[in-house]
Chains A and B, each alone.
Chain A
Amino acid sequence: MNESQSPIAQSKSQQLYWMYQIVGWGAFTLARIAGAITAFRIPWFKATLELGILGVTGLVLSHGLRAYIRRHHWNDLSIPQLTKRIIVAGLVLGTPLGILTQLTAVAALQDLGPLLREYAPGLDVHFSVPIQFAHQIVNWALLFMLWLAIYFTAIGLREYRSARLTQSELARALQLAELRLLKSQLNPHFLFNALNTVRSLIADNPARAQDAVTRLAKTLRYTLTSPQDELVTLSQELGIVADYLELESMRFEDRLRIELHVPDDAAGVQIPVMLLQTLVENAIKHGIAQLPSGGLLRVSATVQSEMLMLDVENPRPPAPARRSQEGVGLQNARDRLRLLFGERASLELDLSRPSVATARLRIPVNP
């Protein structure tokens, strides 16, 4: 029924199905055999044979019905639709069995005629042959409807339980994804090194240490509280990038040199929050930090034909130790750009020059 079930769960529910089928039909047939022998004095071998055949036919037909239900996905139907189908299916399957029953010696089992005559002799009831047939058919139809009701109750219960399980798994997966995002934004390497720098500054230069704590708090607040889909102006983003770069300068001292070139017409353009920050962090992590003598980090922006062109350029080791340049941060940045601007924005990492890496960001001025 449920395709996502594991093979073990499937074989277990298959076993359970056959157990219910055999016990159900078996108990039903045995009870009728006992009734036929004791109440109607039908010879035992005849009762067993005929009712046995009827029981097995019922089992086979109901199994066929299950295959049909599964192929036509009845469990996706609404309750009224399902009710209609249950009635029709009961009648369709009840008809052959009803006719078969009427032709056997055990037909008397379901014939109300003798019973009525016994309790109300004055009425003198006699059912015509078509009515007797109809009676048998309705009896079987009701039995199949009961079978279907039990079947769908069992299926419904099982699906309810597995849905509850899936929901809790889903909630867990979502939490994990959020946590991963948070972690990737936080950059623990930067955070702990910054804290170490602050600790060193407390003794060396308390005023600078105070400044560093304020900047660290601003950086963290911006990182932790910005929603992923928010747009900010380039100058707002540059504010936080400046705080971040100041902290990194305290760590790297003269190894990190910075050049920012952002004209006024570019400063007001809206960009996704944390995007420039990600590019600058990458430039330091994969570029400046890998070089013994550090280098110059250059951020330059221009507006040309309604497009903001933002370049982040940094020196890099000639052969990067790891191919992590196109890391999670860059991929995440590209995904966000596509969600916000579609095909009109782009982000390229240019490694064509041997010792320079340039991240080129293109964003439409009027989205």
Chain B
Amino acid sequence: MKAMIIDDEPPARRELRRLLTGFPWVEIVGEAGNVDQAVEMVETLTPELLFLDIQMPGGSGFDVLTRLEDVPQVIFTTAHDEHAVRAFKVDALDYLLKPIETARLAEALGRVRSTQAARTPRPDAILEKIFVRDGDRCWFVPLREVRLLSSEGNYIRLSWGESHPLLGRALAALEQRLDPNRFFRANRRQIINLEFIESVDLGVNGRLHAQLRGGPEVEISRRQARLFKTKMSI
């Protein structure tokens, strides 16, 4: 498994590297010491696992994750900010306290391995989950649970359960990475999740309107209507 160490303190990186020699199946492909460097390296080296420090110059470990298009598995490493990680409601994230105990490292790596095995192999280009930060809260949002993506300037507003977090990306860029069997471009500003469609009505203006479960009614543009009908076999 390809892994990367992101920590601003060289001795901390050396120490973790040394600890990882006990786990030969983990291959360290790179090290980064700040947020910018980390984002760049993750994007070129595409590791499957990150060891991520929280306090770093030029931002935090969370900033690294929000800036990544594709978030690999993450194990946070921290000397004192475990409360920050615990604030997460996501079990996909583990954290290790520095100095790191070998037994805890083995446990965390075991968990990573089992999640990895349980993952259904998918074509690489398709995104399954997305890391979102909204104020003090962060989530790993599984995209299949998102019913609607709306463009707001350079941002995307996700409609996910009761939450409507904002994502710092353009809709057109993200569209390339969405599962085409699941997501459909309804109009210039919105992409809908087909699994959430409750009913389809003909509006007074002669356009199709899709009512989403738990969400708003979305208008299908004239251009997309034909494609939509084929897709939904209406």
Q: Is B179 close to A, CB under 8 A? A: no
> Nearest chain-B residue to A294 (Cβ)?
B57
A187 vs chain B, min Cβ distance (A): 9
Indicate whether A250 sits within 8 Å of B98 (C-beta atoms), given known contacts A192-B79, A196-B79, A292-B34: no
What DSSP secondary structure best describes chain A's contact surface? helix
The interface on chain A, measured as residues whose beta carbon lies within 8 A of the other chain's beta carbons, has a size of 24
Complexed CA–CA distance, A255 and B57 (Å): 11
Which of A290, A291, A317, A321 has the largest count of B CB atoms less than 10 A from its CB? Answer: A290
Partner of B57, one of A192, A251, A291: A291
**Which residues on B sit within 8 Å (CB–CB) of A188?**
79-80
Complexed CA–CA distance, A188 and B98 (Å): 12
Segment at the A interface, from B10-18, B64-72, B123-131, B161-169: B10-18
Q: Is A197 close to B, CB under 8 A? A: yes
Instruction: State which residues 1-51 of B face A: CB under 8 Å.
Output: 8-12, 14-15, 18, 33-37
The interface on chain B, measured as residues whose beta carbon lies within 8 A of the other chain's beta carbons, has a size of 24
Complexed CA–CA distance, A196 and B9 (Å): 10
Instruction: State which residues 157-216 of B face A: CB under 8 Å.
Output: none
B85 vs chain A, min Cβ distance (A): 14
CB–CB B12/A200 < 8 A: yes
CB–CB B57/A197 < 8 A: no
CB–CB B80/A292 < 8 A: no
Partner of A193, one of B18, B59, B79: B79
**Which residues on A sit within 8 Å (CB–CB) of B142?**
none
CB–CB B11/A251 < 8 A: yes
Indicate whether A253 sits within 8 Å of B10 (C-beta atoms), given known contacts A189-B55, A199-B99, A203-B18: yes
**Which residues on A sit within 8 Å (CB–CB) of B80?**
188-189, 192-193
**Which residues on B sit within 8 Å (CB–CB) of A290?**
57-58
**Which residues on A sit within 8 Å (CB–CB) of B33?**
292
> Nearest chain-A residue to B60 (Cβ)?
A321
> Nearest chain-B residue to A254 (Cβ)?
B10
Q: Is A25 close to B, CB under 8 A? A: no
**Which residues on A sit within 8 Å (CB–CB) of B14?**
200, 204
**Which residues on A sit within 8 Å (CB–CB) of B81?**
189
Complexed CA–CA distance, A27 and B15 (Å): 84
Complexed CA–CA distance, A200 and B18 (Å): 9
CB–CB A196/B57 < 8 A: no
**Which residues on B sit within 8 Å (CB–CB) of A192?**
79-80, 97-99
Q: Mask for A270-294, Cβ within 8 A of B = 1, else 0?
A: 0000000000000000000111101
B6 vs chain A, min Cβ distance (A): 12
Complexed CA–CA distance, A201 and B9 (Å): 13
A294 vs chain B, min Cβ distance (A): 8
Which of B79, B98, B99 has the largest count of A CB atoms less than 10 A from its CB? Answer: B79
Complexed CA–CA distance, A317 and B58 (Å): 8
Complexed CA–CA distance, A291 and B80 (Å): 19
Partner of A197, one of B12, B37, B97: B12
> Nearest chain-A residue to B10 (Cβ)?
A253
Q: Is A195 close to B, CB under 8 A? A: yes
Q: Mask for A113-157, Cβ within 8 A of B = 1, else 0?
A: 000000000000000000000000000000000000000000000
Partner of A292, one of B11, B15, B18, B58: B58
B9 vs chain A, min Cβ distance (A): 5
Partner of A196, one of B8, B35, B55, B99: B99
Q: Is A74 close to B, CB under 8 A? A: no
**Which residues on A sit within 8 Å (CB–CB) of B99?**
192, 195-196, 199
Complexed CA–CA distance, A317 and B59 (Å): 10
Instruction: State which residues 191-248 of A face B: CB under 8 Å.
Output: 192-193, 195-197, 199-201, 203-204
Could you jot down 15 A-B contacts, CB within 8 Å?
A192-B97, A193-B79, A196-B11, A196-B98, A197-B11, A199-B15, A200-B18, A203-B18, A251-B12, A252-B8, A253-B11, A291-B58, A292-B8, A292-B34, A292-B58
Please list the 7 inter-chain residue pairs (A to B) with the smallest Cβ-Cβ separation, ordered nearest first.
A192-B79, A200-B15, A292-B34, A200-B11, A196-B98, A189-B80, A193-B79
Instruction: Name A residues whose Cβ lies closer than 8 Å to a Cβ of B.
Output: 188-189, 192-193, 195-197, 199-201, 203-204, 250-253, 255, 289-292, 294, 317, 321
Instruction: Name B residues whose Cβ lies closer than 8 Å to a Cβ of A.
Output: 8-12, 14-15, 18, 33-37, 55, 57-59, 79-81, 97-100
